[in-house]
Homo-oligomer: A and B are copies of this chain.
Amino acid sequence: MSKEHVVRNYIAGQWRTAEAQGFLDVENPATGEVIARTPRSTTTEVDRAVAAARQAFPAWAHMSVARRVSWLFRWREILMKNEEKISRILVEEMGKSLSDARAEMKRVYQNLETACAAPMLQQGSKLVDCAGDIDGEEMHEPIGVFAAITPFNFPAMAPFWFIPYALATGNTLVVKPSERVPLTLEAITEFLHELELPPGVYNVLNGDKDASIALVNHPDVKGVSFVGKTDTCRIIASRCAELGKRCQAMGSAKNHLVVMPDYKQIDELIRNMSTSCYGCAGQRCMASSVIVAIGDAMYERISATFVADSRKYRVDNPLNPDVLEESLVIGPVISAQSQAFIHSMIEIGVREGATLALDGRGIRVPGCEKGHFIGPTVFTNVRPGMRIHQTELFGPVVCIMKAGSLDEAINIINNHPYSNACSIYTQNGYEARKFKLNVETGMVGINVGIPAPVPFLPFGGMKSSMLCDIKMQSRSAFQFYTHNKVIVERYWPTE
């Protein structure tokens, strides 16, 4: 890639140079190098993409669902064959480790696989004789053109929370990837292009906030999926509601890990937690960033051991050949702006009185002086209500807290502004059940640091971490992308 490369839009089955009102740099966050430019597509360009999707809708909607998914089967196959190529592009523009990129691709395939089940999962139901000689039927119909506006941290997986299901169910789609990481989806789309999907069924539109706003407001867009910050979610969800559109809006997170006082397998525990905290440099909505130890003894032990383990991570350019196949690698955060924000929050944490047990600032990665690196950072003595506890940082910064009991830990979680996910470490069936029934988060782990559901189960938070009614993945995705029309039918005897 190079700064000469202008990312293309994919509209109506054709690659095209966007009609743009300007361009944004795509950076390799490990080197600061500009590797491409994202066009800021104009409203006219948005109209073009939506029009293509709208035109493609009727024929696609009325095609047999088994035929529709045949393209998904083939897309899955071709992406698997090109996993390595795509993963490298992903690493280059996003900065996560190669093993994280490969793991992300697995979720792409699994979302495709789940959508391939559409001939089973989109079936409606029928009640013969729902009343005297009258039959009732519930159909799951596609709705029309959808838009998906996806974030920078999962350049491959995030679009695939939407594409496979939207297409399988008979809708058509415009995807707007993050302007920071447009290259992965461009590469993925190249492979789809070979498969001769009917033009307009799937479209990629590059751009920034203006394009997103235009998509949300476009009268022919019948539903919007968005993953980003909670504040943006509120605006989009509210606007969609007013316009009568379907909406998925997945927001911010701050995920807690609770350790019971008698937990035995400390080595597995620590590594399980640090993997959750430092993977993708902490830039995952499922990353954990708060550890709550129950009792003094466990708190002391965790604090010491976690810091020691954190030191084992290597901060580096993930494409450095030395670390390419390593797992304990932390790459850069996405941008200088993000790095500066995290630095300022570390500053605030210190001022709030938390103990900065490990300071990741000021890391130097040789040859990557312009990269946006932050090393593993650990605060101990964190108390609920501190800003470092209340704020989503999206970096490799961990807060360690103490609680007197499981109930107290549950309260900390339930009183937090974000409610995406959390986990407990315990071998005790009673405590595990109590935790899972009482925490108010959308996803819950038992001895699992990253309780991200496989696509065969729904994905989404609760309360302010999900500003909508229907989750992503699994049966939920089928609900989101279909309208359940009801038919009430009777025939009079002919005579």
Contacts and interface: CB of A to CB of B under 8 A. Distances in A.
Interface of A: 62-66, 69, 73, 76-77, 110, 113-114, 116-117, 119-132, 134-139, 234, 237-242, 244, 246-247, 265, 268, 426-433, 436-437, 441-448, 451-454, 456-459, 462-464, 466-471, 474-476, 479-480, 483-494
Contacts of A240: 241
A325 B445 CA distance: 45
Contacts of A126: 123-126, 137, 139
B127 A123 contact: yes
Contact of A234 (B244, B431, B462, B487): B244
State the 7 A-B residue pairs at the shortest beta-carbon distance, nearest first.
A117-B117, A430-B491, A241-B241, A237-B241, A451-B488, A446-B489, A238-B242
Instruction: Give the most central of A114, A120, A428, A484: most B CB within 10 Å.
Output: A120
Contacts of A124: 125-128
Given A427-B428, A483-B442, A66 B130 contact: yes
- Chain A interface, DSSP helix/strand/loop, else mixed: mixed
B123 A437 contact: no
A446 B462 contact: no
Contacts of A130: 64-66, 119, 453-454, 456-457
Contact of A136 (B132, B244, B456): B456
A442 B454 CA distance: 28
Contact of A116 (B117, B268, B443): B117
A238 B239 CA distance: 7
Nearest to A143: B462
A492 B265 contact: yes
Contacts of A137: 126, 457
Contact of A486 (B123, B139, B453): B453
B132 A431 contact: no
25 contacts: A62-B437, A65-B130, A73-B76, A73-B77, A73-B113, A113-B116, A117-B119, A120-B474, A120-B475, A126-B126, A127-B456, A130-B454, A130-B456, A136-B453, A241-B247, A246-B469, A265-B492, A426-B429, A428-B428, A432-B489, A442-B483, A443-B486, A453-B486, A459-B486, A469-B469
Q: How many copies does the complex hold?
A: 4
Given A76-B73, A123-B127, A431 B494 contact: yes
A198 B69 CA distance: 28
Given A120-B120, A489-B432, A65 B427 contact: no
A101 to B, nearest CB: 18
A457 B494 contact: no
B114 A451 contact: no
A123 B125 contact: yes
A239 B123 CA distance: 33
A109 to B, nearest CB: 9
Contacts of A119: 113-114, 117, 127, 130, 454, 456
Contacts of A475: 120
Contacts of A459: 486
A144 to B, nearest CB: 9
Contact of A129 (B63, B428, B448, B452): B63
Contacts of A113: 66, 69, 73, 116, 119
A446 B479 CA distance: 25
Contacts of A443: 485-488
B476 A484 contact: yes
A446 B491 contact: yes
B452 A488 contact: yes
A448 B484 contact: no
A139 B128 contact: yes
Contacts of A234: 241-242, 244
Contact of A454 (B136, B433, B487): B136
Nearest to A246: B469
A388 to B, nearest CB: 24
Contacts of A485: 436, 441-444, 462
Contact of A489 (B116, B122, B247, B445): B445
B64 A436 contact: no
Contacts of A426: 429
Contacts of A64: 129-132
Contact of A448 (B66, B123, B433, B488): B488
B429 A432 contact: yes
